Structure 1
Amino acid sequence: MDGLEGLPVFVRAAREGSFSGAARALGLTPSAVSKQIGRLEDQLSVRLFNRTTRRLSLTEEGAAFFERASRILADLEDAAAAVSSHRSVVRGRLRVTLPTAFGILHLLPVLPQFLARHPELTVEIDLNDRFVNMIEEGFDLALRVGDLEDSSLIGRRLAANRRVMAAAPAYLAAHPEPKRPEDLKHHNCLVYTYRAQRYDWHLVDEEGQEHTITVGGNLETNNPMMLHGAALDGLGIVLSPLWLIGPDIKAGRLQCVLPDYHWPDSAIQAVYPPGRYLSARVRSFVDFLVEQFAE
């Protein structure tokens, strides 16, 4: 098939969501981008984009082609690096998606160290608390906090993820401290809306016995950092991971509630699509994360 020079233009336009954005990223004019996309569509005999005056989106065929084209370009970059005289140099663009709070609190402080090791690598970070389909949206790597639901992906464990309940001393001074899980029904519990069955708190005691309590409160949000801040302000009881609230518990700004109970343990994982070869970009970043976060 001739004319595959349009592949990088197509992939960039899909990621940017516009021809003008792709043109800026590639140093081309919007008309040049449009022509290359048009040529590619003619060769494939299929429409890759839905075009309106306000929006550019992939067609169903375009989305399927984008997934494969992204992998092809990544494999080409890795092949070029493998035969280059600078094999140890990691180049290109690495697209990573991860939860907002974890990214700000734990990845941001160490990211400069990784970028200093690989000055020819560009890392694009997507902070997002919703579930991201990394293959459909063209990400090389995802950091997932919790169990790996998509069995088609490969996960490498970075650290344990334990979630506990906590509240500010001021809240506990003003309300009877819970002595058993059922007491949570009488408290203002702060609800995380991105959790499935958001009102059901599944707790495990020291003997492994599970308890499910339906809770409620006057604050619900999809942002764990807002719940964290509300708990610090004495608004109520939060169920949150130790990587987020652990320092405040240690400092006494928050106090564990029902310390003999916790959410069933899971893991923090680096997740990437399966493939015959793992790209140098992904491999170097995963190795760095293991180095930073392994217990």
Structure 2
Amino acid sequence: MKATSEELAIFVAVVESRSFSRAAERLGQANSAISRSVKKLEMKLGVNLINRTTRQLSLTEEGERYFRRVQIILQEMAAAETEIMETRNTPRGLLRIDAATPVILHFLMPLIKPFRERYPEVTLSLASSETFINLI
């Protein structure tokens, strides 16, 4: 059985917080849920990742190695999600505008440079005409 991204995130939070209770607080979950998640992860891997005492916790050798790799994986996952969200929210493509010459000259031209700076992935196509175009 493979580890879930939630289990990995909980494990990293525990290590970074140096405490199950602080990790639970940080993640908005119960201490018992955090502890169960880490124990489940350890059972899946077949190794102890964390040495637990009543006063402190420390990583085992396997835990150290696993933490370093999982931390990178989670950072990459976050970067991939951010990248996808940014591309999804970024306008792109062709924007065709057909308008009367005075409208283009007086209203649109002053807006083109700021628009292109803000939306570099949008290609503008301006057409000027004095004839009526039926859009339907």
The question of a shared fold, defined as TM-score above 0.5 by the shorter chain, is answered with: yes
Aligned length: 87
Larger Rg computed on CA atoms: 2
Give the 3-state SS of the residue equivalent to 1:46 in structure 2: coil
Q: 1:57 to 1:32 in 2, by over 3 A?
A: same
Superposed CA offset, 1:196-220 (max 9, x none): xxxxxxxxxxxxxxxxxxxxxxxxx
- Tell me what 2:13 maps to: 12
Deviation at 1:86, TM superposition (A): 4.4
- Tell me what 2:66 maps to: 65
Deviation at 1:83, TM superposition (A): 1.0
Deviation at 1:80, TM superposition (A): 0.6
Deviation at 1:44, TM superposition (A): 0.3
Separation in structure 2 between the aligned mates of residue 83 and residue 77 of structure 1, nearest angstrom:
10
Separation in structure 2 between the aligned mates of residue 39 and residue 24 of structure 1, nearest angstrom:
20
- Tell me what 2:57 maps to: 56
Separation in structure 2 between the aligned mates of residue 27 and residue 77 of structure 1, nearest angstrom:
19
RMSD: 1.3
Looking at secondary structure, tell me which structure has more helix per residue.
2
Runs (4+) off by over 3 Å: none
- Tell me what 1:37 maps to: 38
- Tell me what 2:22 maps to: 21
- Tell me what 2:77 maps to: 76
Deviation at 1:28, TM superposition (A): 0.4
Separation in structure 2 between the aligned mates of residue 78 and residue 58 of structure 1, nearest angstrom:
26
Give the 3-state SS of the residue equivalent to 1:57 in structure 2: strand
Separation in structure 1 between the aligned mates of residue 89 and residue 48 of structure 2, nearest angstrom:
39
Separation in structure 1 between the aligned mates of residue 3 and residue 66 of structure 2, nearest angstrom:
15
Give the 3-state SS of the residue equivalent to 1:54 in structure 2: coil
Letter in 1 for 2:71: S
Separation in structure 2 between the aligned mates of residue 7 and residue 41 of structure 1, nearest angstrom:
11
Letter in 1 for 2:52: R
Letter in 2 for 1:52: T
Superposed CA offset, 1:35-71 (max 9, x none): 0000000000000000000011111110100000000
Q: 1:82 to 1:21 in 2, by over 3 A?
A: same
Alignment of 1:109-120 (within 5 A): none
Give the 3-state SS of the residue equivalent to 1:28 in structure 2: coil
Alignment of 1:106-145 (within 5 A): none
> Structure 2: where are the runs of 5+ without partners?
91-136
Separation in structure 2 between the aligned mates of residue 60 and residue 15 of structure 1, nearest angstrom:
16
Superposed CA offset, 1:133-190 (max 9, x none): xxxxxxxxxxxxxxxxxxxxxxxxxxxxxxxxxxxxxxxxxxxxxxxxxxxxxxxxxx
Letter in 1 for 2:24: A
Q: 1:24 to 1:86 in 2, by over 3 A?
A: farther
Separation in structure 2 between the aligned mates of residue 56 and residue 3 of structure 1, nearest angstrom:
21
- Tell me what 2:127 maps to: none
Looking at secondary structure, tell me which structure has more strand per residue.
1
Deviation at 1:2, TM superposition (A): 3.0
Letter in 2 for 1:83: I
Q: 1:3 to 1:61 in 2, by over 3 A?
A: closer
